[in-house]
Amino acid sequence: MNHLILIVALIIVLCTFLNKVSNKIGIPVLLLFIVVGILSGSDGLLKIEFEDYVLSEKICSIALIFIMFYGGFGTRWDQAKNVSYKAGILSTLGVLCTAGLTALFCYTILHFGLGESFLMGAVISSTDAASVFSILRSQKLGLKNNTDSLLELESGSNDPCSYLLTILALAFLDGNFDSLFMIKMLGSQFVIGILFGIAIAYIAVFVLSRYNFSHNGSDMAFVIGVALLSYACAAILDGNGYLSVYLCGIIMGNKPICNKKALVHFANGITGLMQILIFFLLGLLATPSKIPDIFLPAFAIMLFLTFIARPTAIFLLMLPFKSGLRENLLISFAGLRGAASIVFAIMAVVHPSQFSSDLFHIVFCIVLLSIAFQGALLAPCARMLKMTDSSINIMKTFSDYTEDIDLSFIKIIVNTGHIWTNKKIKDIIFPPETLVAMIIRDNKRIIPHGDTTIFESDIVILTAKKYEGDETLSFKEYTIKHDSALIGKRIYEFSQIKNELVIILIRKSQTIVPNGNTIIEKNDKLVIAIQ
């Protein structure tokens, strides 16, 4: 057991290190994860024998939940909504068209069986959000015509459609496919998936806005639970769990919840770990000695998918939008295959249906070639097509983006007797270089102006310049115990020591900025600034 933990730890550390190295050497990091898996497998250096597809399918399905959740949670809707219609068409009709053309190629040219051709097209019909996000972020690839947002939204939302096609293909192989089954499946998958995704997202946002978990990190555990809940509730009722979890993510990621930026970074970290897990398992499951037997059909499918199937779908579906030639070419080339294709391929392998072809290793090879070829050349291709724009900050398309400005926000609660009560903003003398940015009244946000009146119980949000000096301010904490002589005394009586100042008083779950007349109570925690 200890040896297994050691191996897992070393693999995670190595993959994390490779994540940093990949940007410098220009190789997509997901490709390096696969290589680590191959080197650890039965044909590699560590000779780890692992062929448990059933366990792998369960692990990878859970990992894909978090990847799908972050696909929505990390997308900034106000940047993406202008291309949402295009992205919606590409993530549905685009996936269907790509799958159909690929299936036709497999059936007519490669002479796969009809069911296997349908399944192959379904499994590899979606693009990989993690790969696209990673390349755009690492290369700081701002694209013209809002193409970056289009690629992010499309790649993040097209896995549910690919999953549905995979289920239909497996039903066809089982002989259970008919028009009634298809209508029932389409209805339940989309309706249940959408309803649960939206409902759970709004419940989660309500909870996060009412209860502040961020002080002890419970909000991150809560988000994990919400992601799993949104998938499981939909999937148990035959809905599309991946659609549910994606919608849940995109709604939560674009609502004003507490500690959101930290939550986005946390979700990004979990997603990175899930990518390591999936691509490492892919490499571990693969047997490189079997690759020569399936390389030619896999290579042919990858070429057809990259240069015929996806471009045909893109150019046809973007025709009504009058998209430019260079834009369509870039969108076509950005169709990287990745985690979802792996998960759906493993799902097919554990299915009772029998295949004449080695489906898993074919998909393995396609993903490997796609990441190596398209992943490495996407940024150069964008520059060659003159689709890059250095004035565009790609980070604006992600929901953890904040402008690089030196502002801080100050919250002031207008309690009973506050000197601002019933006064207009223009009549209040504020410190220099501060501004009232927002007022929260009865849980509603108000953007104020000079004639706005401040009432009792309002929460006033001020902006001020952020301090970024080299000097470090040190703090210590003092707890008022039940027998303390300071109970009932005022803050100014706490300490007369020079170079100390009580800056925060924590009382139960409430944080108070005290003044000299603030009364000290039992169990208060005083945060003191010291020199």
With helix as H, strand as E and coil as C, how does 256-310 read? Answer: CCCCHHHHHHHHHHHHHHHHHHHHHHHHHHCCHHHHHHHHHHHHHHHHHHHHHHH
SS3 411: strand
pLDDT at 115 over 60: yes
CATH of domain 407-465: 3.30.70.1450
Q: Residue 393 is encoded by which pair of tokens?
A: 């900050």
Report which residue type is found at 389: D
Buried b (16+ CB within 10 A) or exposed e, 423-459: eebeeeeeeeeeebeebeeeeeeeebeeeeebeeebe
Across residues 231-246, what is the average pLDDT?
92
What SS3 class is residue 483?
coil
Task: Judge whether residue 468 has pLDDT over 70.
Answer: no
pLDDT, position 121: 95
State the pLDDT at residue 83. Answer: 84
- Report the C-alpha gap between 251 and 257 in whole angstroms: 11
Three-state secondary-structure class, residue 428: coil
pLDDT value, residue 467: 64
Q: What is the mean pLDDT of residues 499-511?
A: 77
249-275 average pLDDT score: 80
The string of DSSP letters for 100-153 reads HHHHHHHHHTS---HHHHHHHHHHT-S--HHHHHHHHHHTT--BGGGHHHHHHH
User: Percent of the chain, pLDDT > 70?
Assistant: 87
| Residue 306, pLDDT above cutoff 80 | yes
Token pair, residue 245, equals 């979890």
Q: Which two tokens mark 154? A: 């499309």
The pLDDT value recorded for residue 402 is: 45
Distance CA 70, CA 275 (A): 12
**Better-scored residue on pLDDT, 276 or 498:** 276
Partnered with residue 511 across adjacent β-strands are 506
pLDDT at residue 109, as a whole number:
94
| Phi, psi of 177, deg, nearest 5 | -95, 125
Distance between CA atoms of residues 194 and 234, nearest Å: 9
Q: What is the structure's pLDDT at 60?
A: 87
Domains of the chain by residue range? 2-52+75-181+264-397, 407-465, 474-530
Q: Reply yes or no on whether the pLDDT at 471 is more than 70.
A: no
**Tens of pLDDT along 81-114?**
788 889 899 999 999 999 999 999 999 999 998 9
Q: What percent of the chain has pLDDT over 90?
A: 24
Which of 206-210, 303-307, 470-474 comes out lowest in average pLDDT?
A: 470-474
Task: Report whether pLDDT(38) > 50.
Answer: yes
- Which top CATH class is 474-530? alpha beta
User: Is the CATH code 1.20.1530.20 the one for domain 2-52+75-181+264-397?
Assistant: yes
Instruction: Count Cβ atoms below 10 Å from residue 291 Cβ, excluding itself.
Output: 18
Question: Which residues are 441's β-sheet partners?
Answer: 444
Q: What is the mean pLDDT of residues 270-292?
A: 84
This prediction has a pTM of 0.73
Side-chain-side CA neighbours of residue 471 (13 Å): 4
The whole-number pLDDT of residue 304 equals 96
Instruction: Decide if 2-52+75-181+264-397 and 474-530 have a common fold.
Output: no
Q: Are 130 and 338 in contact (CB under 8 A)?
A: yes
Least confident of 59-63, 366-370, 391-395: 391-395
Q: Record the tokens describing residue 330, joined without a space.
A: 């870039």
pLDDT tens readout for residues 130-149: 677 677 766 667 788 888 88
Q: What type of residue is 357?
A: S
Encode pLDDT of 451-463 as tens digits. Answer: 899 999 999 988 8
Residue 3 has pLDDT above 70, yes or no: no
